[in-house]
Structure 1
Amino acid sequence: MNSKDLYLRLLRYVRPYRRMFALSILGTTAAAATEPLIPALIQPLLDGSFVAKDPHSIRLMPLLMVAVFIVRGITSFIGTLAMSWIAHQVVTDLRDALFARLLSLPTRYFDDHSAGSLLSRLTYDVSQVMTATTQALVALVKDGLSVIGLLGWMLYLNWKLSLLVLLITPGITIIMRLVSHRLRRLSRELQELMGGLTHVIDEVLQGHKVIKIFGGQDYERQRFHRVNNRVRQFNLKLAAASEASGPLVQLLAIIALGAVIYFASLQSAADQITVGGFVSLFGAMAMLLTPIKRLTKVNEQLQRGLAAAETIFALLDEPPEPDRGIRAIGRARGEVRFHAVSHRYRDDGGEVLHQLELDVRPGETIALVGPSGGGKTTLMSLLPRFYEPESGDILLDGVPIRELRLAELRANIAYVSQDIVLFNDTVAANIAYGAGFQVGEDDILKAAESAHAMEFIRELPQGLHTLIGENGARLSGGQRQRLAIARALLKNAPILILDEATSALDTQSERKVQQALDALRQGRTAFIIAHRLSTIESADRIVVLDCGHIVESGTHDELLACGGLYASLYQIQTHS
């Protein structure tokens, strides 16, 4: 997308605030209109007051000068403030749109992009866009109109001398074009580096315990310094590219100014120009330098903003999670069938699942076991459509899940993963998350009791209303896991996916939670992924996966009697 299309798309976000935008443009235009008035008043001030000694000019000209500066100050304040208001609104809208897009993106997108780079887009990149929609736009309108107005006055005074100024326009255009390309490229690379910097910070914040226990402080400090130093280098390159254009443009302007002064002196000697006209022309040319300088500086802001807009719109243009289903199912009975399901995560990668067949009756508890990398978690990720299978069908109550709306499908599934995710909110809010917050405190209490979580919740300073910190940092691993189980209990879905749901519990807590899970499984279809085989002995059926294939299936006793892979795994665990 070229610069024009990018900026026009960016301005679409200004459209809802067009009245404020019109006020800003009106104020900025009025402020810009006062620029040529200043040299225009100089001519009658000098010729009338000092040369002709006209008493009317002596009284009037100072008052007009004061009036011009008052109008200039008021209109400039209104225009700049209104544009700043619009810019903050646009940034808010862009952040809202980016956040909404992130919520709708498929799981695969998050597999391919680091959290740091995505955070950088919502923070650093959006702030760069703000400069393009405020300072850059105000400078383009105000300084652009000032340059046009001053040139117009100069042409009116003496068109022959003014043409000398216009001769430098091609040189300025070439300089600006060359600098723009370099600034855009450097800005893109700087944005990538800022994403890398945020990624390093995010990893350190998430893994601070691992860093401390393994003594990785020096390594992380060096890693951060390398990225941080690269950011410094690119900021310096940006500054050099931006600053280089200013002196070059000003040099051309000074050359033109020198030529004007020389030829104006010749005209003055021949009485072809008055003193007031000469000073007015010279003043207009001198005043041209300031807006021209600002226009060269605004190029950096503009190119940074456009480079940021590229990455922002690239994210906004990412296709959302496919949801082509049109069928509703209500509350499912819980019959699940995997028919010839194959899956791979990358086109050039090996198959994680291969032509897998599995029929599950409503209310049946299926335990999925096997060596790591066998496909257990992948299989369960396909059921709620976190990923789409490469081939085959998954059916819920006889209906292919790809024909169901995602909201309908996922409303029938409760999920507890081994990687517990809690929010920096109260205990009650984290549990109520399972029912979309549409529950009362009594329901929350019941779910917490069933998950044996009230034992520690009662001891918290504010009970259910205690803030638990980022990802439950103020709780133990077992406490966090019980809150996640309470959240799943409250959802009361007909299908349960439990991925190592009791892995972080001590023996006593595990026994209590296991009892709650046994009660919860009654009348529901449950899938239990477990490495601790002692926790799934009571499952209706145990399915053993290895290298993407189902190699064994049966009850605990049946599989032990077969003496296959399950029996080997069980023997290893019980004798270790």
Structure 2
Amino acid sequence: MLALFAMTTMAAALASLPILIKQILESTFIDKDPSLMQTAVLAMIALFIIRGIASYLSIFTVNKATGKLGIDLRLDFFNKLLTLPVSQYSHLNKNNEINTLISNIHQITQTTPRYITIITQDSLAIIGLIICTLYLNQEFSLLLLLVTSFVVLVTQMTHSHLNRPDQESLLASKNLIQHLSQSIAHHRKIRIDGGQMYESQRLGKISETIYHAEMQQAIVKAIAVPAGQIITALILTAVIYMVALQVITGALNLHEVGALISVVLLLILPIQRIAGLPKQLAHDQKIIETIFSFLDQASEHDTGIISIPHVSGKFVFEQVRFCSDIHATPILNHINFTIKPGEVTVFTGYTAEEKNALINLILHLQQPASGRILLDDHPLADIQLNNLHANIAMLTEDDYLLDEKIAGNIAYGTMRCANEAKITTAAHASHAMEFIRHMPEGLQTQIGKTDTTINKQQFRQLAIARALVKNAPILILDEIPTHEESNPGNLLSALEKLMQNRTTLIFNQHIPQLKKIDRIVVLENGCITESLKEPNNFQAKKEKQAISN
């Protein structure tokens, strides 16, 4: 409402300007009264001040409203992005669609205030100036308004026609690029067969086609521009002639003519902006359609009907087969094994694609093409996602800051309610307190954006502390540190504490030096080739193969 009031005030101030101009001209040339002229000038200055204040309020309130619209759009975008099926992420990253969508949202929030201003403020200004013109001279006002509108529309249509891209020229340019690309791609064949001259002639003919298309466009421009100027000049000449006749016959006075001319000049810009609005809206319509097309995508659907607050950690894979949309061959094929509660299982020999597919299946972020996975004898698809994820903790190699504070990185997400004592206990158990105690503000130290940074090992210690706070019965370790890494002692000790009494799934190409490993599962070509319960025998077998090779 404040923005509408401010825009109405601006329109009223603009519509009052010709009346003040009339008063100034009348007091100067007819009444010759300096006091009246000074009063009119002061009133005009006050009018500009009022208009300036109203303009500030209008710009501020409109941009504030559209800024909130931008926040809402970005939040909707982020929420949709976080709830999309996992299969959509590779497509978004590959096509750089995320950057495009964020850029589109920014562009819409920047252009929306301008559109609101044009539609509301300029419409009110035109209505106000029309009322002002009727007040000044009812007989001549309609003619001036029609002529002004007609001249502006002719100019707008001329520019719109001339700026329209020529289809023939675009097709010829596209053809030229295509042939150039072919010539570059097959340069060896062209040179061997001596086809340079032929290719040059063929590309020259395409260039001539572009030249002829550009010349046709230039001829149209050469005719349209002078024609538009002549029509405009004739109309203006006719109006000036009619005004001169009205002045000679006494139907119009000098001050009325000056006021009407000021009305015409003030009308030109608002009419031009409104006339150009459809073209701008047509351009932004595609951007808006792209944004809402993304927001209308189906979010990940939770099919779970079973609520299990706490699980024991038994996994059963029954002939699990998984295919992605990209690959024709299955990524995982006939995965069939059982993991008992509290068992430590190491997966090795896999490709990155196989590992990610298996982890996504366990987290129920993707569905198997056939077969099924059971958790505590319940089909994974029947367990509610929030229950499933609450029972799983995961450590990955590419850990990053989840919060700006150390405490926020340990008690993250659903663990925000954890008290400081619980966070401190987890930090001690993960050996993270060894570096936290040296931080300027301890657990409340801001990291990442300031000079306070942490190294990769400290990242992992925070991740272990986070898993300890979550205290989930199932643990997934994705590429944990091996014996070859520097100073892994504290990390392995913290991992041993974390793994106690938990079903642990370890994905690592090298067998880690842990006290307890119950089984080693070898994944090759999407299948389980070996499932051994004697880790030492497996390591000896690998060393034997390496020596023989």
Specify the code of the residue in structure 1 equivalent to 2:373.
I
* 1:517 lines up with 2:517 in the alignment: no
CA distance in 1, matches of 2:448, 2:483: 19
- Preserved CA contact (<8 Å) 2:306 2:383: yes
Match of 1:163 among 146, 150, 160: 146
CA distance in 1, matches of 2:376, 2:450: 35
How many angstroms does 1:165 deviate by? 2.5
Cα deviation 1:412-461 (Å, max 9, x = unaligned): 10001122223362333222227622223332233233333334444545
| Shift in alpha-carbon separation, 1:292–1:170, aligned structure 2, 3 A | closer
How many angstroms does 1:405 deviate by? 2.5
Match of 1:118 among 98, 113, 126: 98
| Shift in alpha-carbon separation, 1:148–1:135, aligned structure 2, 3 A | same
1:443 corresponding residue in structure 2: 422
CA distance in 1, matches of 2:416, 2:405: 12
1:143 corresponding residue in structure 2: 122
Secondary structure of the equivalent of 2:522? Answer: strand
Alpha-carbon RMSD across the aligned residues, in angstroms, is 3.9
Secondary structure of the equivalent of 2:411? Answer: helix
| Shift in alpha-carbon separation, 1:362–1:288, aligned structure 2, 3 A | same
Match of 1:543 among 518, 521, 530: 521
1:363 corresponding residue in structure 2: 342
* 1:400 lines up with 2:359 in the alignment: no
- Preserved CA contact (<8 Å) 1:418 1:503: no
1:494 corresponding residue in structure 2: 473
- Preserved CA contact (<8 Å) 2:303 2:384: yes
CA distance in 2, matches of 1:45, 1:464: 72
| Shift in alpha-carbon separation, 1:410–1:570, aligned structure 2, 3 A | farther
1:223 corresponding residue in structure 2: none
| Shift in alpha-carbon separation, 1:175–1:379, aligned structure 2, 3 A | farther
| Shift in alpha-carbon separation, 1:47–1:475, aligned structure 2, 3 A | closer
1:529 corresponding residue in structure 2: 507
CA distance in 1, matches of 2:428, 2:27: 93
CA distance in 1, matches of 2:34, 2:398: 87
1:107 corresponding residue in structure 2: 86
CA distance in 2, matches of 1:459, 1:506: 24
CA distance in 2, matches of 1:181, 1:418: 54
* 1:30 lines up with 2:9 in the alignment: yes
CA distance in 1, matches of 2:52, 2:120: 16
How many angstroms does 1:24 deviate by? 0.5
Secondary structure of the equivalent of 2:373? Answer: strand
CA distance in 1, matches of 2:546, 2:468: 30
How many angstroms does 1:265 deviate by? 1.8
1:133 corresponding residue in structure 2: 112
- Preserved CA contact (<8 Å) 1:530 1:536: no
CA distance in 2, matches of 1:389, 1:113: 22
Cα deviation 1:15-45 (Å, max 9, x = unaligned): xxxxxxx220122022113323222344455
CA distance in 2, matches of 1:257, 1:150: 20
| Shift in alpha-carbon separation, 1:96–1:375, aligned structure 2, 3 A | closer
TM-score, normalised with respect to structure 2: 0.75
Specify the code of the residue in structure 1 equivalent to 2:404.
D
User: After superposition, where does 1:233-382 map in structure 2 within 5 Å?
Assistant: 256-292=235-271, 306=285, 308-373=287-352, 375-382=354-361
CA distance in 2, matches of 1:86, 1:176: 33
Q: Which moved more, 1:526-535 or 1:449-458?
A: 449-458
Q: Percent identity?
A: 31
Secondary structure of the equivalent of 1:535? Answer: coil
How many angstroms does 1:109 deviate by? 3.0
How many angstroms does 1:54 deviate by? 8.6
Match of 1:90 among 69, 73, 77: 69
Cα deviation 1:265-304 (Å, max 9, x = unaligned): 2333344433233222212112223434555787897677
Secondary structure of the equivalent of 2:513? Answer: helix
- Preserved CA contact (<8 Å) 2:145 2:264: no
1:234 corresponding residue in structure 2: none
Q: Which moved more, 1:338-347 or 1:290-299?
A: 290-299
2:170 corresponding residue in structure 1: none
How many angstroms does 1:330 deviate by? 0.7
- Preserved CA contact (<8 Å) 2:311 2:473: yes
Gap regions ≥5 residues in structure 1: 1-21, 183-243, 561-565
| Shift in alpha-carbon separation, 1:533–1:284, aligned structure 2, 3 A | same
| Shift in alpha-carbon separation, 1:362–1:176, aligned structure 2, 3 A | farther
- Preserved CA contact (<8 Å) 2:354 2:526: yes
How many angstroms does 1:411 deviate by? 0.4
Specify the code of the residue in structure 1 equivalent to 2:146.
L
| Shift in alpha-carbon separation, 1:263–1:162, aligned structure 2, 3 A | farther
How many angstroms does 1:495 deviate by? 0.7
How many angstroms does 1:388 deviate by? 2.6
Bigger radius of gyration among the two: 2
2:196 corresponding residue in structure 1: none
- Preserved CA contact (<8 Å) 2:464 2:498: no
TM-score, normalised with respect to structure 1: 0.72
- Preserved CA contact (<8 Å) 1:336 1:396: yes
CA distance in 2, matches of 1:255, 1:548: 81
How many angstroms does 1:179 deviate by? 9.2
Gap regions ≥5 residues in structure 2: 166-220
- Preserved CA contact (<8 Å) 1:444 1:490: yes
Secondary structure of the equivalent of 1:523? Answer: coil
- Preserved CA contact (<8 Å) 1:377 1:499: no
Match of 1:476 among 455, 462, 471: 455
Cα deviation 1:480-499 (Å, max 9, x = unaligned): 22222222222110111111
| Shift in alpha-carbon separation, 1:369–1:127, aligned structure 2, 3 A | closer
1:386 corresponding residue in structure 2: 365
CA distance in 2, matches of 1:139, 1:360: 66
- Preserved CA contact (<8 Å) 2:483 2:513: no
- Preserved CA contact (<8 Å) 1:165 1:257: no
Specify the code of the residue in structure 1 equivalent to 2:150.
L
- Preserved CA contact (<8 Å) 1:366 1:526: yes
Secondary structure of the equivalent of 2:317? Answer: strand
* 1:416 lines up with 2:368 in the alignment: no
Secondary structure of the equivalent of 1:488? Answer: helix
| Shift in alpha-carbon separation, 1:466–1:304, aligned structure 2, 3 A | farther
CA distance in 1, matches of 2:163, 2:483: 56
CA distance in 1, matches of 2:160, 2:506: 62
2:533 corresponding residue in structure 1: 555
CA distance in 1, matches of 2:254, 2:118: 32
CA distance in 1, matches of 2:273, 2:505: 65
| Shift in alpha-carbon separation, 1:293–1:465, aligned structure 2, 3 A | same
Q: How many residues align?
A: 484
CA distance in 1, matches of 2:388, 2:381: 9
CA distance in 1, matches of 2:321, 2:339: 18
| Shift in alpha-carbon separation, 1:550–1:44, aligned structure 2, 3 A | same
